Amino acid sequence: MARVLSRDPVDIENLLGLNPRIQTHATLCSSAVKKQDKKHWKRNTDKSISNCETLENNFDDIKHTTLSERGALREAMRCLKCADAPCQKSCPTNLDIKSFITSIANKNYYGAAKMILSDNPLGLTCGMVCPTSDLCVGGCNLYATEEGPINIGGLQQFATEVFKAMNIPQIRSPSLPPPAEIPEAYHAKIALFGAGPASISCASFLARLGYSDITIFEKQEYIGGLSMSEIPQFRLPYDVVNFEAELMKDLGVKVVCSKGLGIEGMTINTLKEDGYKAVFIGIGLPEPNKAGIFQGLRMDQGFYTSKDFLPLVAMASKPGMCACHSPLPLIQGTVIVLGAGDTAFDCATSALRCGARRVFVVFRKGFTNIRAVPEEMELAKEEKCEFLPFLSPRKVVVKGGRIVAMEFVRTEQAEAGHWIEDEDQIVRLKTDVVISAFGSVLGDPKVKEAMNPIQFNRWGLPEVDPETMQTSEPWVFAGGDIGGLANTTVESVNDGKQASWYMHRYIQSLYGATVSTTPELPLFYTPIDLVDISVEVAGLKFPNPFGLASGTPTTSSPMIRRAFEAGWGFALTKTFSLDKISH
């Protein structure tokens, strides 16, 4: 007779049945049943689905690097805080990465944001769009571990977003004299062209140095440059760019829109006549690099350049960018995006949000030659964009006033390394829209004429000293895309940072003042830094209340000196070892 065991109610028994237990036999379930069960529980996209996900009008954040507070604290605790941190050596703006990550781990989010914004006035933008896999993350000592490298971009974004929510203005360095007492040189008129990352960075540092008459001239009705007009809302929201521009304006920088080089007779020479002592040119590369086969094609026929398409998407999706309230470009059917850079993949993912059914990214070389960072490519892949390598455009087929197809020839790499086009291998692809993302140039003759007498190089860009950012005219500086050195937003920011110091040295030399040969750019300050946290002990006042108590770090004068250099306010010692003097 079988043993009779006590039983709980059925619902309790069902719950208990979920607990792990020793198996008495192997389980059996048909593959057909499992395939159906899987659909109820699967969280990621099913590989059998070939169509693009419906993303029309969906501009939600899609970055994998975005972190919650819990995620940021866990990630910050993983950081090794390397003594000779390779991540910092890989950052164009030389952020003290290990220090701001330490501040996050200690829940000092303001301290982390202060460190970031001290070296990079566009710290939040760069936290969102920096190609970190090619910069700081690429140098992380944890890269080869099971957990992988630290998500530095996500931590930078987290800290600066927390600060952004505090709604605290930026102020001048407390060490600067009042504006009325500042030397005459600091009242010199300074002009910057283009309100993009390079100019915002340059103007911010000049204002921190104490200059009071700084004006940015921007030809568009909005500020932010490429960050505003060409990086989509789902990667870089409008309020982020606006937040950083407002921090700059807190220091008294003026921005004049609808004005720039070549507009209403404004030139380098007219600025000199108006009394400007220094100029920074950060207008980017405004015109698209359009291949000959696209000449004469229009948007109503289905042809866009990235310089046409992305600003249209931005104006429709970024609330506050302009007052026009324009709709998204009407993109239907199949879209071909030409190019393999970050801009091409931004066009591809934006086209899906404008209604495209299928998107093909077509490029001349192979997958190993894609210029875009892996993060961009992976996002496009996840959204079911298709990639077609080894194709060079040859002809656009137009019927009834609309683009209907494109013809390509196959490309191959010769043994010598150069690429050749095989005219015998022709590929014809049906399409409704073509977006060309073949880069950009400085092509407006009016702008070039307005920059006279600056000398240009063989690429049609101003000759720029890579160290001082000076052009052939000593009082004119340039940076960002137009300088020919920067390929990313963070590099443009650093161009502006670099130029600000040498503009400062140049202006001071005009007034006979001497400047340290070692760069000394002021840090980022807010009213929080004015709070008095001093303490008084035994009749002695210590501005910094954090000190070292008696112990190992206070047993010799070199140790105490290093403590003071690290920022400690005082040191208390009971026993003090005498330094040995060698003869």
Question: How do the pLDDT tens digits run along the chain, 583 residues long?
Answer: 455 567 788 888 888 878 888 888 898 999 999 888 888 888 777 766 655 557 777 888 778 889 999 999 999 999 999 988 999 999 999 999 999 999 999 999 999 999 999 999 999 999 999 999 999 999 999 998 999 999 999 999 999 999 999 999 999 999 999 988 999 999 999 999 999 999 999 999 999 999 999 999 999 999 999 999 999 999 999 999 999 999 999 999 999 999 999 999 999 999 999 999 999 999 999 999 988 899 999 999 999 999 999 999 999 998 878 767 788 898 989 999 999 999 999 999 999 999 999 999 999 999 988 988 888 898 898 888 999 999 999 999 999 999 999 999 999 998 888 899 999 999 999 999 999 999 899 989 999 999 999 999 999 999 999 999 999 999 999 999 999 999 999 999 999 999 999 999 999 999 999 898 899 999 999 999 999 888 887 787 878 888 887 676 677 778 788 878 877 887 777 766 666 665 5
- Tell the residue number behind the tokens 């964009």, with chain if given: 385
Q: Which amino acid is at 283?
A: I
Total count of residues recorded for the chain: 583
- Tell the residue number behind the tokens 């993350």, with chain if given: 137
| DSSP character at residue 476 | E
* Tokens encoding 225: 């440059």
* Tokens encoding 215: 């004006």
Torsion angle, CA of 231/318/325/264, rounded to 10 degrees?
A: -60
Contact predicate 283/486, CB 8 Å:
no
- Tell the residue number behind the tokens 């007498």, with chain if given: 453
Query: ω before 86 within 30° of 0 (cis)?
Result: no
The whole-number pLDDT of residue 373 equals 86
* Tokens encoding 510: 């005009």
Q: Give dist(CA 571, CA 564) in Å, integer.
A: 8
The whole-number pLDDT of residue 578 equals 62
Q: Give dist(CA 300, CA 242) in Å, integer.
A: 32
Q: Give dist(CA 189, CA 274) in Å, integer.
A: 9
The whole-number pLDDT of residue 7 equals 78
CA-CA-CA-CA torsion sign (291, 296, 299, 300): negative
Q: Give dist(CA 321, CA 139) in Å, integer.
A: 36
The whole-number pLDDT of residue 49 equals 61
The strand ranges marked E within 118-208 are 189-193
Q: Give dist(CA 398, CA 485) in Å, integer.
A: 39
The whole-number pLDDT of residue 86 equals 94
The whole-number pLDDT of residue 13 equals 82
